[in-house]
Amino acid sequence: MTTRAGFVALIGEPNAGKSTLLNRMVGAKVSIVTHKVQTTRTRIRGVAMEGEAQIVFVDTPGLFQPRRRLDRAMVAAAWGGAADADIVVLMVEAHRGITEGVERILEGLTEIAKGRTVALAINKIDRVPAEKLLSLSEALNARFEFARTFMISAERGHGVADLRKWLAAELPESPWLYPEDQIADLPMRMIAAEITREKLTLRLHQELPYQLTVETENWEERKDGSARIDQVIYVMRDGHKGIVLGKRGETVKAVGQAARAELEEFLDRKIHLFLQVKVRPNWLEEAERYSEMGLDFKDGN
């Protein structure tokens, strides 16, 4: 039996649908998804099987012009993901087309492309009429030599099976890299923190989600099969703490309930989740915060 295996990095602008595609490929939610940009902060691996091939998808933070230290570390992690992969899939949003951001990514791709296959996935095709897709595909292929172009809807699943089959065939012959039943390569405490951050991002408005981070501080297994998880939400200002807590603590309570429900489903067991909000004016400049997120602090320099 010839097995194949390798890494496929999903790159693109923030909000392109990378995490949605990863989750669909894996068949489980391993990477958080929101309607806001800059949701994913680090590289997240999800494993999918296709016949005798094991495809390790690498979800990456969106590529954009970084300003803050955290932004720079995120963008470095995204390009690093592409540079380590056997195949790179650039995701472009069908309805937005070739934005300035896409142009910049295409420039960066030329460097990364050396010695690896790069495919194009035009995503969110459910949002545009079919006629528009052909001209967008032509325009993108005129700018970069993609090995293949796929028209997909990561959310609805259109075109996803074709993409997966093609990727499987393109991967090098290799033994599998993960046990066959493993779907993610992220410590459980980090997945748990990400779930809480997703619920916070969905609930909070404006800039606040970009200025907070969530860490799992403690995970205690209980005799009855349940687990107690303690998490800290770090914010930068007193005012932010008030917003996260909400009136009489209503906001953080609702976030905690939503996160707990999802964690219980994911882990298939009872979870006791305790959230605490701490003000930490300088967390964006603390190396430990970055390592907790799976980012390299130095990349943010």
Annotated binding site for GTP: 12-19, 59-63, 123-126
Q: Which residue of 40, 42, 137, 201 would you call a contact of Mg ion, by CB under 5 A? A: 40
Nearer to ligand GTP, 5 or 200 (CB): 200
Which partner, Mg ion, ligand GTP, none, binds residue 196 by CB below 5 to 8 Å per kind?
none
Tell the smallest beta-carbon distance from residue 210 to ligand GTP (Å): 11
Report the alpha-carbon distance of residue 7 to residue 20 in Å, rounded: 17
> Rounded to whole angstroms, how far apart are CA atoms 140 and 20?
22
H helices within the chain, ranges in order? 18-26, 69-83, 100-113, 130-143, 160-170, 188-203, 238-245, 250-267, 287-293
3 state SS of 254: helix
Any residues with CB less than 8 A from the CB of 27 and at least 6 apart, and which? 48, 183
SS3 of 174-210: the string is CCCCCCCCCCECCCHHHHHHHHHHHHHHHHCCCCHHH
Q: Which does 211 bind (CB under 5 to 8 A by kind): ligand GTP, Mg ion, none?
A: none
244 is an interface residue for ligand GTP by CB under 6 A: no
User: Which lies closer to Mg ion via its Cβ, residue 39 or residue 54?
Assistant: 39
Question: In the complex with ligand GTP, which residue's Cβ is closer, 16 or 167?
Answer: 16
Residues 58-77 that bind ligand GTP (CB under 6 A): 61-62
Residue 117 touches Mg ion, criterion: CB under 5 A: no
Binding string, residues 24-63; x marks residues near ligand GTP by CB under 6 A = ---------xxx-xxxx--------------------xx-
155: partner contacted, choices Mg ion, ligand GTP, none (Cβ within 5-8 A by kind): ligand GTP
Which residue carries 């420039």 as its tokens? 107
Query: How far, in whole angstroms, is CA 73 from its chain's centroid?
Result: 14
